Chain A
């Protein structure tokens, strides 16, 4: 079949416990831009059990169409029935682009589906745009250059290099995108998407697994990706107890939270939910304090999009200063409490 038969920008609208994940809206936001360049529309693919009601929300965030596969087998995420359902959607509707969140679900579903439909998949993209491949035509072979291709840019080598990747000869062009990297559009109340109900037969086979238990993390874990201000601590903070100082500083700001580097999680000072970076979360708060964080490239990859970065470190050669807007060389044990006091005083003025 010709590649030109594949049309439209599709996103996988992840839901968990029948609640849409933020990544679904973020992907729609990016998909709208790509669709505008391609003069096509955006379709969200919604898989689950009793999930049809979620289609309205996808419409309000910009989806033009929503394909719903509603099946009791899709109640809780399992690779096999979800992959079967998404492959069926691809085979029936033939999207030219399919974006999936780089979540614990998407990083399992994406590669499984791409391998089944024998196409390429580019992981953890930080930039997506429409362009030519090759970027510059080879002289004498101008007619071999392909236009309107999805160009997918991603970090590799632990964030040390950046590669732009295309998938010129296979469809759909598939990419996963990390949560927090793309921006969702403002919600437009009452905006409607065309809802298409699609019911492919899901066949139970040897690849079905049995879920014995679902164990949710206890307590109400605050999500550092929602923070407006993050006070992030690294190895230099020195101990679990010293994080109290960072919490006090965070409390001076509305929407302030504490986060950390990988070393802190490895030392057991904070749980992994608070980790920023390549193996943690990608954050883009209005203010990011990097306190006692040296600035390993894997950490920087998760926070460099923050609006304002303030680094506090006693080592004036720490690489974190290379990405900081304001760098304070000095003892965090003295600077942090004094800064907290100054902010409190400023509030009462």
Chain B
């Protein structure tokens, strides 16, 4: 069995957000990590590998430095890694990204494609389902559990107030939630091996069945009209009093506002 996991290198926004003196986001100083949902997807693939001996290939699209997340995936236990990188692919929205990643996947064998539900930089949750459309695969989003059953998968698909237990014949695309599992750490041996392994690098020319009209900034139907760092809501009053005085202060405010 072949499993392909799509991963993305993202800035670590969780707890590591830093601002420049002018109030803009200091992107340069933020750590680049493997997107958490993708890492859970990789872990799910590695567990299937542990059980069945499946081959796990990781694919990322990004800048050459995204090699780092592929090395991490190899050190965790992935067998092969592909970096899709080319200047002409930059600035892609989810349509162009999914078109490009789907083209890369056409070069590979897969029974299961796993993506993270969403990346913590864009938070769109769109690329996984859209890759499935381009490849004509059934999609099961928001997976909290994945099991193999013969030539099918059985997945717990999460909704707000319920889950569906869903069965689909392979090949299939699944989007993983970070709640799916606790990803394993890289092993020292794995790190050692990962340095030696070769990462396959594909540029635009290696991607077939891909129209130039569907890649990069120009091939993106959505266009950015304006982008700005968020202006925080102005702070109100802040008091530093002993607890009884704090309570009195707040009770007065409640009375002024007719809350009590």
**A110 and B126 alpha carbons, distance in the complex (Å):** 8
A331 at the interface (CB under 8 A from B): yes
In contact, A112 and B139 (Cβ under 8 angstroms): yes
B196 at the interface (CB under 8 A from A): no
CB neighbours of A347 from chain B (8 A):
260
In contact, B220 and A120 (Cβ under 8 angstroms): yes
- Which 6 A-B pairs have CB atoms at the shortest separation, nearest pair first? A120-B221, A158-B13, A327-B238, A120-B222, A111-B126, A325-B236
Residues of A within 8 A of B (CB): 16, 76-80, 103-105, 107-108, 110-112, 114-116, 118-124, 133-135, 151, 155-170, 206-217, 221, 272, 278, 287, 296-298, 304, 308-310, 316, 321-331, 334-335, 338-339, 342-343, 346-347
In contact, B161 and A327 (Cβ under 8 angstroms): no
Given contacts A166-B222, A278-B123, A342 and B227 within 8 Å (CB-CB):
no
**A116 and B175 alpha carbons, distance in the complex (Å):** 18
Partner-binding segment picked from B46-54, B74-82, B103-111, B242-250:
B242-250
**A79 and B174 alpha carbons, distance in the complex (Å):** 12
Interface residues of B in 194-227 (CB under 8 A from A): 220-227
In contact, A330 and B246 (Cβ under 8 angstroms): yes
The answer, among B17, B132, B141, B235, for a CB contact under 8 Å with A158, is B17
The answer, among B169, B220, B228, B243, for a CB contact under 8 Å with A331, is B243
**A338 and B250 alpha carbons, distance in the complex (Å):** 11
Interface class of chain B by DSSP: mixed
B31 at the interface (CB under 8 A from A): no
CB neighbours of A335 from chain B (8 A):
243, 246-247
In contact, B221 and A163 (Cβ under 8 angstroms): no
In contact, B166 and A212 (Cβ under 8 angstroms): yes
The answer, among B122, B129, B236, for a CB contact under 8 Å with A111, is B129
**A111 and B142 alpha carbons, distance in the complex (Å):** 14
Interface class of chain A by DSSP: mixed
In contact, B123 and A343 (Cβ under 8 angstroms): no
In contact, B125 and A217 (Cβ under 8 angstroms): no
The answer, among B136, B164, B228, for a CB contact under 8 Å with A207, is B136
**A151 and B222 alpha carbons, distance in the complex (Å):** 10
CB neighbours of B223 from chain A (8 A):
133, 165-168
CB neighbours of B138 from chain A (8 A):
79-80, 206-209
**A78 and B222 alpha carbons, distance in the complex (Å):** 27
Which of A115, A119, A210, A342 has the largest number of chain B CB atoms within 10 A?
A115
11 additional A-B residue pairs with CB within 8 Å, beyond A158-B13, A161-B230, A167-B222:
A77-B164, A79-B141, A107-B125, A111-B125, A115-B133, A157-B13, A159-B230, A165-B224, A165-B225, A334-B243, A339-B251
The answer, among B93, B123, B130, B162, for a CB contact under 8 Å with A214, is B162
The answer, among B220, B222, B244, B260, for a CB contact under 8 Å with A338, is B244
Interface size counted on chain B using CB atoms at 8 A: 78
Residue pairs across A and B with CB atoms within 8 Å: the count is 247
B125 to chain A: closest residue by CB: A107
CB neighbours of B60 from chain A (8 A):
none
**A156 and B93 alpha carbons, distance in the complex (Å):** 13
B134 to chain A: closest residue by CB: A115
B168 at the interface (CB under 8 A from A): yes
In contact, B221 and A167 (Cβ under 8 angstroms): yes
CB neighbours of A103 from chain B (8 A):
160
B57 at the interface (CB under 8 A from A): no
The answer, among A155, A213, A304, for a CB contact under 8 Å with B164, is A213
CB neighbours of B123 from chain A (8 A):
123-124, 155-156, 158, 278
Which of A80, A104, A329, A342 has the largest number of chain B CB atoms within 10 A?
A104
In contact, A123 and B13 (Cβ under 8 angstroms): no
In contact, A326 and B236 (Cβ under 8 angstroms): yes
CB neighbours of B230 from chain A (8 A):
155, 159-162, 297
CB neighbours of B238 from chain A (8 A):
316, 321, 324, 326-329
CB neighbours of B159 from chain A (8 A):
16, 77, 104-105
CB neighbours of A221 from chain B (8 A):
161
In contact, B25 and A161 (Cβ under 8 angstroms): yes
**A328 and B167 alpha carbons, distance in the complex (Å):** 52
In contact, A321 and B224 (Cβ under 8 angstroms): no
In contact, B166 and A296 (Cβ under 8 angstroms): no
CB neighbours of B166 from chain A (8 A):
78, 209-212
CB neighbours of A339 from chain B (8 A):
247, 250-251
Which of A76, A160, A339, A346 has the largest number of chain B CB atoms within 10 A?
A160
Q: Mark B9-35, 1 if CB is under 8 A from A, else 0.
A: 001011101000000010000000000
Which of B222, B227, B228 has the largest number of chain A CB atoms within 10 A?
B222
In contact, A216 and B161 (Cβ under 8 angstroms): yes
